[in-house]
């Protein structure tokens, strides 16, 4: 065994079906008296129901969470926290809502309960990406990590099939990069391989039958493991490219991960095939990059950047930005090679 450092994320994780009913008990364990429930406008109804079920432990609902955690929304939410006397937040939703809870916690150190309803994995990380005047900055701080995560399979039953596919691929991307990360360790590698296996087996079943509760449960379990991986290690070229495409070209988050992942993986697989072997195995494929591409195709997910809002003339600028301030990567790269990865993703070519 190689030497390694492993730091366990100090979060309490409750996983199951119908676990939403345990929120009150979790608030008591935290010692919290009144929680503000956070949501997007789309999920406000669910947030209102949850708040009503909490009775006098509810400090109301703030349902203005938005993609990429704009600071203006956080400022409004902080005012709602003060006005309501909340001593805890409950984020009910996907990565956008979890982001708002984290932004509040970073500023106030209020404890957070996160109840994820997508597979994005933000609930398991001490990472916050927020936007101010159109610029997104991402940083890590132990204060950002939620104290309690409640996974309730019931809440994912309504996740539309297209978002299930791309959100699931977004989760897989965390685990793929965890397997070759510079700070990888055997515990997170085990979790990553099993997270990919669980999602790769569940997602095609969800595409056939979105009401398949066993598949939904397996997918959510996979998302938990992949989120744990994202929180534990440092991301590389794939996440860098997605941050560039999302931050500077406004491409949609989960779709961008879905399209770029096979190409970034195939590029790195050439340098570290042994580290990508668990991905190929989990996918039942010869090669990791090809297997990821074939999975996305099976799911009917987007395969080309051209189809999710990217313009071909932007590829050069994207490559420039990616190499200007690169993340560590297991394979060194030139600007031309990064352009090649982006060009393959733009055209949706199956990796060799
Ligand atoms: P999202 O949270 O933006 O949700 C997309 C839409 O789907 C929203 O309208 C939401 O209300 C709706 N939705 C969520 N769950 C649903 C359900 N079960 N049924 C029906 N509709 C549902 O999307 P996301 O992909 O989960 O999150 C993306 C954001 O999270 C990005 O801003 C990304 O940067 C961030 N993120 C952060 C981290 C981190 O560790 N900091 C990790 C992953 C993603």
Of all protein residues, the one whose alpha carbon is nearest to atom 7 of ligand 1 is 94
Which position has the token pair 């994202």? 230
Residue among 193, 315, 183, 207 at smallest CA distance from 260: 315
Instruction: Report pLDDT for 9.
Output: 82
Instruction: Give residue-wise pLDDT tens across range 14-29.
Output: 999 999 999 999 999 9
In whole angstroms, give the CA distance from residue 290 to residue 287.
5
How sure is the predictor about 61, in pLDDT bands with cuts at 50, 70 and 90? very high
CA distances for 284 relative to 28, 159, 167, 197, 218, angstroms: 45, 26, 21, 9, 17
Give percent of the chain above pLDDT 70.
Answer: 100
In whole angstroms, give the CA distance from residue 271 to residue 267.
8
Instruction: Report pLDDT for 55.
Output: 97
Could you give the count of Cα atoms lying within 13 Å of 202 in the half-sphere of its Cβ? 32
**What mean pLDDT comes out for the span 58-74?**
96
Q: Are residues 90 and 189 in the same domain?
A: no
Q: Are residues 84 and 168 in the same domain?
A: no
Instruction: Report pLDDT for 130.
Output: 92
Q: Are residues 83 and 180 in the same domain?
A: no
93 lines ligand 1 (CB under 6 A): yes
Distance 133 CA to ligand 1 centre (A): 21
101 lines ligand 1 (CB under 6 A): no
Q: Are residues 120 and 204 in the same domain?
A: no
Could you give the count of Cα atoms lying within 13 Å of 188 in the half-sphere of its Cβ? 29
Is-contact 107 139, C-beta < 8 A?
Answer: no
Q: Are residues 116 and 235 in the same domain?
A: no
Residue among 166, 321, 301, 326 at smallest CA distance from 236: 326
Could you give the count of Cα atoms lying within 13 Å of 319 in the half-sphere of its Cβ? 19
DSSP 86: -
Of all protein residues, the one whose alpha carbon is nearest to atom 4 of ligand 1 is 94
Domain boundary at 134, 156, 178, which? 156
Is-contact 292 264, C-beta < 8 A?
Answer: no
Please check whether residue 4 lies inside any domain of the structure.
no
Q: Are residues 269 and 312 in the same domain?
A: yes
pLDDT of 137 > 80? The answer is yes
**What mean pLDDT comes out for the span 92-101?**
98
Is-contact 330 268, C-beta < 8 A?
Answer: yes
Atom of ligand 1 nearest to the CA of 66: 3
117 lines ligand 1 (CB under 6 A): yes
Q: Are residues 290 and 202 in the same domain?
A: yes
Domain housing 65? 12-156
Our mutation pick for probing the ligand 1 site, out of 253, 257, 261, 308, counting the most ligand atoms within 8 A of Cβ, is: 253
How sure is the predictor about 144, in pLDDT bands with cuts at 50, 70 and 90? very high
Please check whether residue 270 lies inside any domain of the structure.
yes
67 lines ligand 1 (CB under 6 A): yes
pLDDT of 159 > 90? The answer is yes
Atom of ligand 1 nearest to the CA of 119: 26
Helices (H) and strands (E) in the chain, counts: 13, 8
CB atoms within 10 A of CB 148: 23
How sure is the predictor about 134, in pLDDT bands with cuts at 50, 70 and 90? confident
Give percent of the chain above pLDDT 90.
Answer: 93
How sure is the predictor about 325, in pLDDT bands with cuts at 50, 70 and 90? confident
| Strand (E) or helix (H) holding 59 | strand 58-62
In whole angstroms, give the CA distance from residue 329 to residue 331.
5
Which position has the token pair 């349902």? 63
Domain boundary at 156, 179, 197, which? 156
Q: Are residues 125 and 193 in the same domain?
A: no
Both tokens of residue 129? 């990406």
Helix, strand, coil proportions of the chain in percent (round to 5)? 60, 10, 30
121 lines ligand 1 (CB under 6 A): yes
Residue among 206, 184, 342, 166 at smallest CA distance from 278: 184
Here the CATH number for the domain that contains residue 131 is 3.40.50.1970
Here the CATH number for the domain that contains residue 214 is 1.20.1090.10
DSSP 132: E
CA distances for 217 relative to 27, 198, 228, 285, 297, angstroms: 24, 9, 17, 24, 22
Atom of ligand 1 nearest to the CA of 67: 32
Instruction: Give residue-wise pLDDT tens across range 294-323.
Output: 999 999 999 999 999 999 999 999 999 999
Q: Are residues 25 and 119 in the same domain?
A: yes
Average pLDDT, rounded, for the chain: 96
Q: What is the CA radius of gyration of the chain?
A: 19
* SS3 label, residue 20: helix
Residue 152 dihedral angles phi and psi, to the nearest 5°: -125, 110
96 lines ligand 1 (CB under 6 A): yes
């Amino acid at each position: 065994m190689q030497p390694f450092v492993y730091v366990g994320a100090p979060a309490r994780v409750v996983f199951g079906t119908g676990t939403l009913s345990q929120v009150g008990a979790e608030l008591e364990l935290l010692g919290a008296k009144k929680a503000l429930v956070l949501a997007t406008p789309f999920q406000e109804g669910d947030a209102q129901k949850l708040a009503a079920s909490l009775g006098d432990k509810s400090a109301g609902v703030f349902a203005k969470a938005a993609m990429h955690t704009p600071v203006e929304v956080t400022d409004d939410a902080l005012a709602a926290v003060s006005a309501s006397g909340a001593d805890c937040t409950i984020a009910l939703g996907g990565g956008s809502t979890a982001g708002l809870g984290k932004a509040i916690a970073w500023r106030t150190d209020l404890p957070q309960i996160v109840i994820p309803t997508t597979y994005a994995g933000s609930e398991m990380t001490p990472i916050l990406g927020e936007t101010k005047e159109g610029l997104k900055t991402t940083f890590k701080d132990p204060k950002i990590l939620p104290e309690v995560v409640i996974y309730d399979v019931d809440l994912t039953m309504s996740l539309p099939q297209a978002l299930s596919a791309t959100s699931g691929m977004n989760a897989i991307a965390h685990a793929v990069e965890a397997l070759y990360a510079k700070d990888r360790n055997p515990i997170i590698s085990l979790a990553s391989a099993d997270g990919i296996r669980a999602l790769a087996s569940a997602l095609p079943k969800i595409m056939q039958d979105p009401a398949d509760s066993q598949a939904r449960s397996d997918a959510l379990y996979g998302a938990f493991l992949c989120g744990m991986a994202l929180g534990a290690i440092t991301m590389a070229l794939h996440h860098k490219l997605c941050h560039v495409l999302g931050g500077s070209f406004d491409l949609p988050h989960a779709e961008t991960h879905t399209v770029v992942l096979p190409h970034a993986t195939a590029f790195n697989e050439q340098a570290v095939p042994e580290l990508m072997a668990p991905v190929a195995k989990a996918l039942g494929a010869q090669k990791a990059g090809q297997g990821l591409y074939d999975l996305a195709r099976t799911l009917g997910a987007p395969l080309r950047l051209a189809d999710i809002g990217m313009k071909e003339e932007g590829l050069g600028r994207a490559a420039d930005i990616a190499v200007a301030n690169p993340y560590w990567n297991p394979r060194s790269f030139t600007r031309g090679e990064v352009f090649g990865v982006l060009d393959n993703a733009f055209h949706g070519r199956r990796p060799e």
